[in-house]
Chain A
Amino acid sequence: DAGITQSPRHKVTETGTPVTLRCHQTENHRYMYWYRQDPGHGLRLIHYSYGVKDTDKGEVSDGYSVSRSKTEDFLLTLESATSSQTSVYFCAISPSAGGHQETQYFGPGTRLLVL
């Protein structure tokens, strides 16, 4: 298994509160990603990082921010949680974004419920 952990694994929060999810890797991979998975939808990219302090938006980034201060840690923050952000969140890592080293390996996920 790729060395990826996510914390917390489950969280219940209230609308309007900030929430931070953490992804930690031990593979020293350059690229890290945050996805959300909802019934009837494929995994959708929220944000990604291509190095320390280097991040960019994915297709569903509104309401989310990210930070990467160390190679091994990628944080996802919901600035003010809404019920539409109830989802399962997955972190993924890859050594590269191309050149046949772009396979993404996923963490175990965080199940978030916003009441």
Chain B
Amino acid sequence: EDQVTQSPEALRLQEGESSSLNCSYTVSGLRGLFWYRQDPGKGPEFLFTLYSAGEEKEKERLKATLTKKESFLHITAPKPEDSATYLCAVQAWSGGYNKLIFGAGTRLAVHP
């Protein structure tokens, strides 16, 4: 069964304290892995797409990496405005269409 698991469920960091969020997946035929940021009361905001193992993408303090079994979202020297829920999703061909399978998310809180 296609599955996406994110860990930890919640993470509390001090401003400037770097850390990583994990997204592990089991899908038959990965077509892409997506990271989104979601602020309270808002829709998910697209961050990155990764397509093959070894690929890396960066945006400001965020860096996403991909292996054959998992992806990491590294946050370097986070600031309070990085506080949000981070969602991981994998795209796989299933049931006759390109299906996006989401994890439950990691809630990140960055304190000054």
Q: What's the Cα separation between A103 and B102 when bound, in Å?
A: 13
Selecting from A12-20, A40-48, A64-72, A77-85, the interface stretch reads A40-48
| A115 within 8 Å of B (CB atoms) | no
**Can you list 7 A-B pairs with a CB-CB distance of less than 8 A?**
A41-B104, A90-B44, A100-B49, A100-B51, A103-B46, A106-B46, A109-B43
| A97 within 8 Å of B (CB atoms) | yes
Residues of B within 8 A of A48 (CB): 97
Residues of B within 8 A of A87 (CB): none
* Contact (Cβ within 8 A) A103 B98: no
| B110 within 8 Å of A (CB atoms) | no
With A107-B43, A108-B43: A56-B100 Cβ-Cβ less than 8 Å: no
With A41-B104, A42-B87, A43-B87: A97-B97 Cβ-Cβ less than 8 Å: yes
Interface of B (DSSP majority class): strand
* Contact (Cβ within 8 A) B32 A102: yes
B-to-A contact residues, CB < 8 Å: 4, 31-32, 34, 36, 41-46, 49, 51, 87, 89, 91, 96-105
Residues of B within 8 A of A4 (CB): 43
Residues of A within 8 A of B87 (CB): 42-43
**Interface residue tally for chain A (C-beta within 8 Å):** 22
- Among B41, B42, B98, B102, which residue has its beta carbon within 8 angstroms of that of A42? B102
Q: What's the Cα separation between A98 and B100 when bound, in Å?
A: 11
Other A-B pairs, 8, CB within 8 Å; known A42-B4, A43-B44, A97-B97: A40-B104, A43-B87, A43-B89, A98-B98, A102-B91, A106-B36, A106-B46, A107-B43
Q: What's the Cα separation between A43 and B101 when bound, in Å?
A: 8
* Contact (Cβ within 8 A) A45 B100: yes
* Contact (Cβ within 8 A) A103 B34: yes
Q: What's the Cα separation between A100 and B55 when bound, in Å?
A: 15
